[in-house]
A = this chain, B = another copy of it.
Amino acid sequence: MGKLLRKRTQKAGLPPGSLVYTGEKVDTQVSITLVEYDEQQFQEKEIASFEECLLLKDKPGVTWIKVDGLQAVENLQKLGDCFNLHPLVLEDILNTDQRPKIEDFDDYIYIVLKMIDYSENDELNSEQISLILGSNFLISFQENNAAIFAPVLERLRTSKGRIRKSGADYLAYTLMDLIVDNYFVVLEKLGEAIEFMEEVVVKRATPETLQDIHRFKFDMIMLRKSVWPLREVIGRLDRRESDLIQEATGIYFKDVYDHTIVAIDNIETYRDILSGMLDIYLSSISNRLNAVMKVLTVIATIFMPLTFLAGVWGMNFKHMPELEWVWGYPAALGLMLTIALSMVIYFHQKKWL
């Protein structure tokens, strides 16, 4: 949990604009893929460093520079020089503790998004995706080299759909649509787990159940932090406040916007459901206490009078005529049985048994 919330203090004291990667230093290779395409042609190659990017600028068609892994710090400065990126943008790309946001510079838009998926040990994992959208280029940054954008690359290769006929803004839309669709994959998995847990809560809740509920609640908080700001980010793209978004693409961003709202709706619904489960859990504890106390009370109520009676006939008074009777003992036992049975019947009627 803490991992998701603190990442920033390594930078405290450094001047603004310092390029320091603040994410987890895992040993992934940095890979830079260069994709150039227009309606007729498609070209894809790996490049070793950002130094080659100068050659690619201002070509016809759309250029997509796909950067996987954020360790190549010095090189990033070169990319910045080449595309005239503001130092703070470069800093933000490396600072993986951003909130989803959009910044409109004159000749490019800088977009920060959060990709959420499950890690191997079933924990929610948040990865920062940065997009820089220019008039005819798109630069994407992701923290590690997972193949999250593979379907889009494949569609470009095989020229499926309108993606090859459209500009860099449509490419940006495709990537954002992929990220938002992924929220639904995560939400569906969470939804199944919550639905399963709902039965558990009712039938056999343990203190661990409470912790599970709170883990899910925390996951929802995490998701909410990623999806909620998206609303504004995509809203601004959808309203086409920048000239870099063509009119025909606007409606596509409106579509992602609607999906985002549906995701937020579902997150809020799950939060409500989880709150309800907490109520059920807490009242199930109380119900069990009630059940335990009923057992105790039934036992005590049956045996206390009986033990008292046995005590009475165990007294050593000289003159206790019933002790002499032949049928005294069976009569005593019979009386005790009668008392016990009437108690049982009474509790049965009160539904305590």
Residues of A within 8 A of B (CB): 1-2, 5-6, 8-9, 11-13, 15-17, 86, 88, 91-92, 97-99, 101, 103, 151, 155, 160-163, 173-174, 177, 181-182, 184-185, 187-188, 191-192, 195, 198, 202, 207, 210-211, 214, 217-218, 221, 225, 251-252, 254-255, 258, 261-262, 265-266, 269-270, 272-273, 276, 278-290, 292-297, 299-301, 303-308, 310-320, 322-329, 332-333, 336, 352
Contacts and interface: CB of A to CB of B under 8 A. Distances in A.
Contacts of A185: 9, 12
Contact of A311 (B160, B184, B310): B310
Given A218-B273, A288-B290, A328 B333 contact: no
A18 to B, nearest CB: 8
How many copies of this protein are present in the complex?
5
A276 B218 contact: yes
A329 B320 contact: yes
Contacts of A310: 308, 311-312, 314-315
A7 to B, nearest CB: 9
B11 A181 contact: yes
9 contacts: A2-B191, A98-B262, A214-B280, A282-B283, A295-B301, A296-B297, A299-B300, A303-B307, A319-B326
A262 B155 CA distance: 36
A255 to B, nearest CB: 5
A interface majority secondary structure = helix
A289 B280 contact: no
A348 B207 CA distance: 19
A265 to B, nearest CB: 6
Given A255-B88, A292-B290, A284 B207 contact: yes
A86 B220 CA distance: 34
Contact of A258 (B5, B16, B98): B98
